[in-house]
Amino acid sequence: MENFIFANPVKIIFGKDTIKNIANEIPKNNKILIVYGRGSIKKNGVYDQVIAALKGHEVHEFSGIEPNPHYETCMKAAAFIKDKKLDYVLAVGGGSVIDAVKFIVAAAYFEIGDPWIIISEHAEIKRALPFGAILTLPATGSEMNAGSVITRAETHDKISFNSPLIYPKFAVLDPTTTYSLPAKQIGNGIADAFVHVIEQYLTYYTGDSMLQDYMAEAILKTLVNEGPKALESPTDYDVRANLMWASTWALNGWINCGVPQDWATHMIGHEITAFYGIDHAQTLAIVLPGVMTVLRNQKAKKIIRLGREVFGINMESKDNAINQTIKVVENFFEKIGIKTHLSDYNLGDEAIEKVSNRLAQRGWKLGEVRNITADTVKEILTLRK
């Protein structure tokens, strides 16, 4: 196992009717900005619960955060914070809203140039406003980590950044807030969480990370077992609770302690989203089977273990076990309503060239041993036509 340092300061408030508890988490004299997306929280009752909980505070609102939050929109929110001299931000929504707020609270008082360099050059964040989160869509794990992904629409860039200063102070996870979500969003969330675990688990085999492997497999099993149930029975509290908690654990830092990590599927997928606006989870479902196929020798032991421990695949032939595992992963995505080929989204050779060329221009080498070049990306995506 590799050396590691781990700390996670996020306070989780989990369960039914817990939004009211935010009144105990935010200082009484703070002026608050509520940040949310396109207004679904006003239809499902979450907004009313938040306003009731914040009675007595000076409250402002900023809406319109995109599914892939735009730098341009975030900068408007940061300017609003400075203008109103606000003290605290509350993200109410899914991972996109929380990711946006992470950048907003850092950008609001960034003093060494254009805040875009926080993302593009990983400039150090020295100050960030405190913020809390109310999660309404389980998917990204952003409610319990210090990472964020922001899109700059002007340049078609979608890039991640992180800082210990952008952990939420608290996160409310009430599974009942997810009951009214469309099936597509639930399916996307399941796929996103699944691939988050895969990026930290499906690497070259070290054989010495027993606890992390078992934890990762437990999360994957929960997603595989409960995901389809969540689509069939939208108001089953226990199913939604298991799904929400598994999605948080998929990326709260615990399972990556001391192990190699991949993230190639995400990096390739980000480029497809940046250029073509395809849902993040859809790009992951396209790319992952290709990564597993092209990197099958490097990842062989873990692919076979994934098939055996999560999907119950037991075959004597190594090649058959790998092939069957890749196929069952692809079938899982299809089962939760996500198509898995570029052609399903009317994309083909042009998209493959565009994405691989972008990665070549950046000089990025991806994967757990940095051996995935632009040519490898072209090979991966060609398999997914």
Q: What is the pLDDT of residues 81-123, one digit of tens each?
A: 999 999 999 999 999 999 999 999 999 999 888 999 999 999 9
C-alpha to C-alpha distances, 348 to 67, 282, 384, nearest whole angstrom? 24, 15, 9
pLDDT averaged over every residue in the chain:
96
Q: Are 37 and 10 in contact (CB under 8 A)?
A: no
pLDDT for the residue numbered 12: 98
- Report pLDDT digits (tens) over 159-213: 999 999 999 999 999 999 999 999 999 999 999 999 999 999 999 977 789 999 9
Instruction: Find the angle CA(363)-CA(366)-CA(370) to the nearest 5 degrees.
Output: 95
Q: H-type helices in 85-236, by residue range?
A: 95-107, 116-120, 183-201, 210-232
Question: CB neighbours of 222 closer than 8 A, spacing ≥ 6?
Answer: 242, 243, 246
Percentage of the chain surpassing pLDDT 70? 100
- What residue type is assigned to position 244 of the chain? M
**Mean pLDDT across the stretch 323-341?**
98
pLDDT for the residue numbered 112: 87
Domains of the chain: 11-177 (3.40.50.1970), 183-383 (1.20.1090.10)
Question: CB neighbours of 262 closer than 8 A, spacing ≥ 6?
Answer: 198, 199, 200, 202, 203, 291, 366, 367, 368
Question: CB neighbours of 83 closer than 8 A, spacing ≥ 6?
Answer: none
Whether pTM > 0.85 for this model: the answer is yes
Spatial distance between the Cα atoms of 14 and 268, rounded to a whole number of angstroms:
33
Q: Are 251 and 145 in contact (CB under 8 A)?
A: yes
**Mean pLDDT across the stretch 53-62?**
96
The single-letter DSSP state of residue 204 is S
Burial of 359 (0-12, 13-18, 19+ CB in 10 A): buried
- Report pLDDT digits (tens) over 303-322: 999 999 999 999 989 999 99
pLDDT for the residue numbered 346: 98
